[in-house]
Amino acid sequence: MSMAVGDRDENEPMMDMNTTPLIDVMLVLLIMFIITIPPQTHAVKIDLPVPTDSKSNVDPVKNKVMIDPAGTITWNGSPVDLATLESYLLETKALPVEPELQVQPDPYARYIVVDRVMAVVKRSGVGKLGFVGNEQYARVF
């Protein structure tokens, strides 16, 4: 059935290495490298934002809204009205990563003022909201 080549006896095993599977594996690896290397060398051009000189009252990490007993609303320590509070909250929504909003009403603050602040917060669509200073209410009641 088989054909003998050279001076080899028919019952003697063939001593040549079969390189066909090795060549197949090498071709597959070569094709994989050809396919995967070009995307690594391509550059993506991005227009970075230009820094502005305007000073913003919005902290990119966390902002704090406090309400005192007199009904004064403060944003990071500066007094604001409800319209300014809403514009600051909308400015925080425009940031790439939304900062945390911490609300700290005084235990003796009027409910209507806190309710109006919370309505502004809800309308602005703040996603990260936390109430701080809750331990102060334990002494009131």
78: β partners: 75
Q: Whole-model pTM above 0.85?
A: no
Task: Answer yes or no: are the C-beta atoms of 120 and 82 closer than 8 Å.
Answer: yes
% pLDDT > 70, the chain: 76
- When pLDDT is averaged across residues 122-141 and rounded to a whole number, the result is 78
Q: How far apart are CA 102 and CA 74, in angstroms?
A: 12
- Position 125 scores a pLDDT of 87
Q: pLDDT per residue over 7-32, tens digit each? A: 666 777 777 778 888 899 999 999 98
Q: pLDDT per residue over 40-68, tens digit each? A: 666 667 676 676 655 567 667 788 999 99
1 pLDDT exceeds 50? Answer: no
In this structure, what DSSP letter does residue 125 have?
A: T
What residues contact residue 129 under an 8 Å CB cut-off, 6+ apart? Answer: 100, 101, 103, 121
Q: How many CB atoms lie within 10 A of CB 130?
A: 12
